[in-house]
Amino acid sequence: PLSCGIVGLPNVGKSTLFNAITQAGAESANYPFCTIDPNVGVVEVPDLRLDKLTEMVTPNKTVPTAFEFIDIAGIVKGASKGEGLGNKFLANIREVDAIVHVVRCFQDDNITHVSGKVDPLSDIQTINLELVLADLESVEKRIDRSRKNMKSGDKKYAQEVEVLERVKEALYADKPARSVDLSDDERLLIRELHLLTMKPVLYAANVSENEVADADSNPYVKIVREFAADENAEVVPISAKVEAEIAELEGEDKEMFLEELGLDESGLNRLIRAAYKLLGLYTYFTAGVQEVRAWTIRKGMKAPQAAGVIHTDFERGFIRAEVVSYEDLVAAGSMNAAKEKGQLRLEGKEYVVQDGDVMHFRFNV
Ligand code: GDP
């Protein structure tokens, strides 16, 4: 499954946030394919469309889609040189699909800040520098190797060197690899390097519990926003401490607490949705009387691969899919009504699944 790594300096609130994530946790029986590991938290993706479909179909069971957050502890200054848990830390980041970078924006004199004072910009740069340095090492090694391989005459190596030189230049200027304008082919050429600064990032600005309703009045949040805007990255203000409290509540208690705080939903929900978007994911639905369920796919997936997310047999034996868009289905009021209006389409192997498609697969076993 797709995953998002949580990174940040010590004492910024990562564990607090991660505990809120596992506390709010998904019912693991629904997601047997998810990793069982104390550092992995499975979250369900909140989606109003799923609620609406449930109302319409009244199934026995409704299952949201899910993805994983991974707690990546241990980055300190010097990680790229193996300080602290440096190497392990970098290896863990290599495996995630996107990064949630937690930044301390709360003041609390009782909680030590690793560099002496709250300074979000310097914190962000400290971590980003470690990632840049680690990438620089991978890129330079690879350039050396590919230069040697160029003698074989295979043009691929020359192209690779050309692309890597551009990435190297960006890294030297302290810019992430994702800031380099690369074509899809060029991206593919260097994909196996798993560069850390190529991964999409969002910043979670951890504010004090009394600031959640108006986080943007916190001057540190403003600083983070300005930095992130330059990178086209998103910022989600959140109070890890409050999220930990919210995660322990359910139903009405939870709603009352959110109302007291002046929030319409938990920060965790906003973070989950932002991370989902960051990962470039689409959701499609299946809507049977037994189960209404949301499924995650990558943008651009064709119908058989999308079916394969449910079960590999569905992909192997794929014949075709009956498809209606969520909007058409809701406007029609029922599957039968949508069918009568001619909105239920039969699609084949080449169909590119769209966000919000409601699908029924026909397949051979
Ligand atoms: P980590 O080292 O980044 O995992 O940080 P922790 O989650 O362990 O948090 C470090 C300390 O900061 C803990 O004592 C937390 O209770 C505290 N903390 C985390 N978030 C907040 C917050 O929003 N407000 C305040 N006052 N303290 C917080």
The residue ranges of every structural domain in the chain are 3-47+64-116+199-278, 131-197, 300-363
Cβ(212) to ligand 1 under 6 A? no
Q: Which residues are documented as binding site?
A: 11-16
Q: Supply the pLDDT for residue 80.
A: 64
> pTM of this prediction?
0.86
Answer for the pair 348, 303: CB distance below 8 angstroms, yes or no: yes
CA distance 307 to 357: 12
Cα distance between residue 30 and residue 32, in whole Å: 6
Q: What share of the chain is helix, strand, coil (3-state, %, to 5)?
A: 50, 20, 30
Distance CA 45, CA 353 (A): 19
Task: Write the DSSP symbol of residue 302.
Answer: B
Residue 194 — pLDDT band, cuts 50, 70, 90? very high
Our answer on whether the CB atom of 240 is closer than 6 Å to any ligand 1 atom is yes
Across 79-83, 152-156, 359-363, the highest mean pLDDT is recorded for: 359-363
Side chain identity at 3, as an amino acid letter? S
Q: Which CATH architecture has domain 131-197?
A: Orthogonal Bundle (1.10)
**240-250, pLDDT tens digit by residue?**
999 999 989 98
Cβ neighbours, 10 Å, residue 330 = 18
Are 195 and 167 in contact, with CB atoms under 8 Å apart?
yes
Q: Which residue ranges are tagged as binding site for ATP? A: 11-16
Q: What is the CATH number of domain 3-47+64-116+199-278?
A: 3.40.50.300
Q: One-letter amino acid identity for 211?
A: E
In whole angstroms, give the CA distance from residue 330 to residue 49. Answer: 9
Ligand 1 within 6 A of CB of 13: yes
State whether the beta carbon of 19 lies less than 6 angstroms from ligand 1. Answer: no
Domain 300-363 CATH class label: alpha beta
* 260 C-alpha to ligand 1 centroid (Å): 22
